[in-house]
Amino acid sequence: MTAMNCSRRRISHLIHLSACCPMSCILPLLCCCYCSCCSIKDRLQQKLAESGSAVVSKPMDWAALGVPEWLADRAERLGFLFPTEVQRRSTPVILSGADTVIASETGSGKTAACLVPALSQLDYPPELFPDDLEGPQLLLLVPSFELGVQACLLLFKLWGGNISSRTPGDPANMFSYTGPAGIKVRGVLNDEEIQMAVAGRYLKGVHALVATPDMALALMSLPDSPLSFQDLRAIVVDEMDALLDAYPASFGQLMDAAVHRHTPTSSSSADAPAAATAGSAGGGDQAGSAQDNLSKLKALLERQQQQEQEKQQRQVEQLLQQQQQLQQLQAEAAALEDDTPMPKPQVVLVGATISDDDITLALNRGWVDEPVVVRVGTAGNVPAGLKHRAVVVAGPEKRLGGLVISLRKDLTDTLATADAAAAAAAAADHVAEHQQDDQQQQQQQQHAAPVRVIVFAQSEAEARGAAEPLRAALWGDHMLSVLLPSTGAEPIKALHAFRDRVASLLLATPSAARGLDLPAVSHVYSLGLPPDATEYVHRAGRAGRIGSTAGGDICTVVTREELPALQQMVEQQLGLQLECVELDRQGLGLLGTEYDAARQELLQEQQQGQQQQQGEAGMAEPQLENARKGLEDLFNLL
């Protein structure tokens, strides 16, 4: 155990060094760790052999788990080289056809854990051609537009599609794909896609459909809807708890329709109250006048006519209901072959914070049948290795200024650390002819590992209002990309800009906190207090994901009044350590201290009247630059 812990510490140290040191320095340590791991493995196998236990090697690639060769090769080319723990455990279960519940922490690879084996279960040409499909084979339900866009792109790439990475020799280009051709994936995530589905052949021959419950239900409720579930093989519910919170009614109706393969009935609760007005016999004189008797007779005839009309209307409604039932029975009878009932689609429920109540609800509604629960890690757990920080400002109007100050300080600290590591590596190399190469590596390292930030605003309106001030204040430091749910094709451009490192800061709404997998996110900021600990976990999960060596800082910009609630959320509920940084001087904070130091130094230099040397001027230049940026912040933000 001591040797294993030592190797773990060495590997962890290598991960941090790989972000700031050249490979020539890391290679000897990497060889040493490799030899240590091989030695530990040999000793463990020897001990197991001596005790008589069978040495079972876990499958370490997709093909060994039972995934088809073409799909395993495609997953590896897309960067999913080795299945993670949740992928290793869930793939055989889904391939067996059993209903599955995947509960794993954020960043553990849940999306690939459910999609790769689900795609393995579908029928492809020549067994089933796209023109023969009556509806999709795979239905993927997502809680947000952003997550739906990401899922569509992943399915598109798994089925041979290519999104240029702007680098030559991309191993995942379309020419390396060996799987079935002509496979389509479509999304029903907004009104525009519903109009496309109704107007043309948008859903014709589609194998996978990605949708939010409200959009899919709206499409199915239309007359002559092009959406059918007759050939549905699998239903994947991503972030089930978020779907139940965001779509409490439409999610249940859509799941009932998809699992039982019927058209959802329109919930028009036209419960017409029976307005049968009881004729009150006015207790007048025994000898009523003829006019009174005539009026009573007319009222009686009107009531009889009204009752007759209501009776006819009820008969017409009954006939319409019988006709609809007959049509439904005819459709079900046409779908049946050899009098064998259609099997229930396989259902996979996925979530980082999925609860036992959610599973019980799915059982009671008949969505799942004896599901196999795959749990990896602790529910609601935050990825390890993240630092949590609270930036305290004087008031809500100072949040944006505090965000800019912290972003600049993080950028300065990261670049300073990279410079120091590269300088130490260059000093350790005594070969004079390699000095120029080391300087080039240092410059490349600064551009290869920038600070990559996601900022969560409290609402879409707040994100829109913060976009331009942030873009102006961070000019030259960060390239800003804004991810908003109601901007049509713009979310795709925003995700691509951040993924391709064209943008280094992504401004998003809370709906983007679920499931988005973006590479090498080093900092996550929240403008204001998250609503609860679950939301904090999902926001923090955008950093420190599987395969990322960037670490991660989770920073929340709050006021002094909000700080106790944040401490209770992070320290008591989640058991994490929270560092508090209070920005003084009403938003200037650390930048104000730097400005004061630079200003005092300049005043002393003017009083002394001494000429500044070139090296000393170089030392004062960063402070002058910070002062200039501080004045820009005041002008743009305050």
d(C-alpha 360, C-alpha 355), whole Å: 9
Sheet holding 453-456, edge to edge: 480-483, 505-508, 453-456, 523-527, 553-559, 387-393, 578-582
Burial of 527 (0-12, 13-18, 19+ CB in 10 A): buried
CA distances from 155 to 149, 152, 184, 371 (A): 10, 5, 9, 25
d(C-alpha 499, C-alpha 520), whole Å: 9
DSSP 340: B
Looking at residue 443, its pLDDT comes to 42
d(C-alpha 136, C-alpha 17), whole Å: 47
d(C-alpha 492, C-alpha 241), whole Å: 25
Looking at residue 441, its pLDDT comes to 46
Give phi and psi for 135, each to the nearest 5.
Answer: 100, 170
Instruction: Dig out the tokens for 398 from the structure.
Output: 């100072």
Residues of the chain with pLDDT under 50: 1, 8, 19, 53-58, 267-288, 338-339, 430-436, 438-449, 488-489, 585-599, 602-603, 610-620, 622, 629, 634-638
Looking at residue 488, its pLDDT comes to 45
Closest among 151, 108, 617 to 378, alpha carbons compared: 108
CA distances from 246 to 93, 202, 240, 625 (A): 29, 27, 10, 46
Looking at residue 200, its pLDDT comes to 80
Residue 591: partners with Cβ closer than 8 Å, 6 or more residues away: 405, 408, 626, 629, 630, 633
Per residue in 527-586, pLDDT (tens digit) is 889 988 888 888 887 786 655 555 688 899 999 899 999 999 888 888 888 888 887 543
Looking at residue 483, its pLDDT comes to 73
Percent of the chain with pLDDT over 90: 18
Helix (H) or strand (E) holding 326: helix 290-335
Closest among 294, 299, 298 to 280, alpha carbons compared: 299
Neighbours of 149 (CB within 10 A): 22
Angle between helices 191-199 and 213-220 (to 10 degrees): 30
Per residue in 448-495, pLDDT (tens digit) is 446 788 888 888 888 888 888 888 777 767 777 777 665 544 666 777
Looking at residue 68, its pLDDT comes to 93
Torsion 505-413-517-375 (CA) sign: negative
DSSP assignments along 554-589, one per residue:
EEEEEETTTHHHHHIIIIIIS---EEEEE--GGGTH
469 in Cβ contact with 489 (< 8 Å): no
Number of H helices, E strands in the chain: 20, 14
Residue type, 622: P
